[in-house]
């Protein structure tokens, strides 16, 4: 029989639920049953939208008083790829030589299991003295389009009158060893498409044509030549990278009609989407002058830069990590986006989970002891949080 206070056994049980996005695979319902039995008011909530699959999500809460500490995460996982290349079954949850294998072990069923086991342990030791609230917000759409997941679940919770004071998102944040890094913010992301128009013609008669490749090389080179900024106290410099450069031309004797390039900018808290787009447009106007005909379009984005400023909550997390691991974690804003970009609109959020070296890989795995240690860290943070 599964003991939900055993974070390693709970991780194994979650891995054995084949919850490849958008399939729930039994993972959320397993947690739903565990939390209901522990006294939580728990809900499985399904959201739908046009051109996207329906997705199940879980929201659970115990207590009505303040403060409310929320644990967030996801149980959906990416596809396993070529299953024959796995040393151990991707949904077997096997432990070999102290290492737990399986899809989602690192990203992030281990983190979810550690949070649940630590909360159950805390509630058991606190008993009737517990006066605050603890909530779980677990999505099945983090690895997918992120349309029918956390963003809608937060809206649903708000409509019910739910309020959160702080959140811990258990994404795998550590680069090398457990305790290395807490994410206290994330860079924003803005993508765009640049098109330079020319005039198609015979390559032997360039005076009768207008080669757009000259123009796009000038604009691409100019945008990449100068840094957007020098960074801030908690963020590195914003970075623009081009991902494609294409003219769609298969003929060796034809000057193409147009040239296209796509780019992405990971930006810091000096910018918003609007101010950054305006800066790119300004720079392009300067580069183009009267000699290059171009258009630039920016894709819609919900990934703004944000920061949970160091303070009491962050210090509690640092102290808990140091107590359990002997390591003082780096406070970082590096990496890609996560569901923290939605949560930060409702309460301060930090991210701390397992080591992420094998996430999304064949033979995804984590040391089983790290899962138990992560649960210990979360328990230390919960104790500090409600004692304060």
Catalytic one among 56, 107, 141, 142? 142
Asked if residue 287 and residue 153 are part of one domain, the reply reads no
CA pair distance 277, 240, nearest whole angstrom: 12
Residue range of the domain that includes 40: 7-186+305-387
Cβ atoms within 10 A of the Cβ of 311, count?
Answer: 10
Catalytic one among 56, 76, 304, 351? 76
pLDDT band at 388 (very low <50, low <70, confident <90, very high): confident
CA pair distance 94, 102, nearest whole angstrom: 7
Q: Is 303 left (phi over 0), alpha (psi -120 to 50) or beta?
A: beta
Q: How confident is the model over 160-217, as pLDDT tens digits?
A: 999 999 999 999 999 999 999 999 999 999 999 999 999 999 999 999 999 999 999 9
CA pair distance 282, 260, nearest whole angstrom: 19
CA pair distance 381, 383, nearest whole angstrom: 5
- In this structure, of 184-188, 214-218, 250-254, 362-366, the range with the lowest mean pLDDT score is 250-254
Asked if residue 249 and residue 311 are part of one domain, the reply reads no
pLDDT of res. 359:
96
Asked if residue 355 and residue 309 are part of one domain, the reply reads yes
288 domain-assigned = yes
Residue 240 has pLDDT above 90, yes or no: yes
Q: Provide the CATH number for the domain around residue 333.
A: 3.40.630.10
What is the pLDDT averaged over residues 317-331?
Answer: 98
1 domain-assigned = no
Each residue of 10-36: b (16+ CB within 10 Å) or e?
bbbbbbbbbbbbbbbbebbebbbebbe
Each residue of 126-141: b (16+ CB within 10 Å) or e?
eeeebebbbbbbbbbb
Can 299 be counted among the known catalytic residues? no
pLDDT of res. 280:
98
pLDDT of res. 302:
84
Q: Provide the CATH number for the domain around residue 242.
A: 3.30.70.360
Last residue of a domain, one of 298, 318, 352: 298
pLDDT of res. 337:
87
Q: How many domains does the chain have?
A: 2
122: its two tokens: 């805390």
pLDDT of res. 184:
97
Can 6 be counted among the known catalytic residues? no
Asked if residue 227 and residue 341 are part of one domain, the reply reads no
- Alpha helices (runs of H) in 39-165, residue ranges in sequence order: 110-126, 150-159
């Amino acid at each position: 029989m599964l003991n939900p206070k055993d974070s390693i056994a709970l991780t194994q049980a979650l891995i054995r639920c084949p919850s490849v996005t958008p399939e729930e695979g039994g993972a959320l319902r397993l947690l739903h049953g565990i939390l209901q039995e522990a006294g939580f008011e728990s809900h499985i909530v399904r959201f739908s939208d046009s051109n996207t699959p329906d997705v199940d999500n879980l929201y659970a809460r115990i207590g009505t008083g303040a403060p409310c500490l929320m644990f967030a995460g996801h149980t959906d996982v990416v596809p396993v790829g070529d299953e024959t290349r796995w040393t151990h079954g991707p949904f077997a949850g096997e432990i070999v030589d102290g290492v737990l294998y399986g899809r989602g072990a690192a990203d992030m069923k281990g983190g979810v299991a550690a949070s649940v086991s630590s909360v159950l342990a805390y509630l058991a030791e606190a008993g009737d003295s517990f006066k605050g609230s603890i909530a779980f917000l677990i999505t099945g759409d983090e690895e997918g389009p992120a349309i029918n997941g956390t963003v809608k679940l937060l809206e649903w919770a708000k409509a019910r009158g739910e309020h959160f004071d702080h959140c811990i998102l258990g994404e795998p944040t550590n680069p090398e060893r457990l305790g290395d890094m807490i994410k206290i913010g994330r860079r924003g992301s803005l993508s765009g498409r640049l098109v330079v128009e020319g005039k198609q013609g015979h390559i032997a008669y360039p005076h009768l044509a207008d080669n757009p490749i000259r123009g796009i090389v000038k604009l691409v080179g100019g945008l990449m030549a100068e840094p957007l900024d020098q960074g801030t106290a908690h963020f590195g410099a914003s970075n623009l990278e081009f991902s494609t450069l294409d003219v769609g031309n298969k003929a060796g004797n034809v000057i193409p009609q147009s040239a296209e390039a796509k780019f992405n900018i990971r930006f810091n808290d000096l910018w918003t989407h609007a101010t950054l787009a305006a800066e790119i447009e300004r720079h392009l106007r300067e580069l183009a002058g009267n000699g290059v005909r171009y258009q630039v379009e920016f894709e819609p984005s919900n990934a703004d830069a944000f920061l949970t400023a160091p303070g009491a909550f962050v210090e509690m997390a640092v102290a808990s990590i140091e107590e359990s691991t002997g390591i003082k974690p780096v406070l970082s804003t590096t990496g890609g986006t996560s569901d923290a970009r939605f949560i930060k609109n409702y309460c301060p959020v930090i991210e701390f989970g397992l080591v992420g070296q094998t996430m999304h890989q064949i033979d995804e795995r984590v040391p089983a002891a790290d899962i138990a240690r992560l649960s210990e860290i979360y328990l230390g943070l919960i104790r500090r949080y409600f004692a304060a």
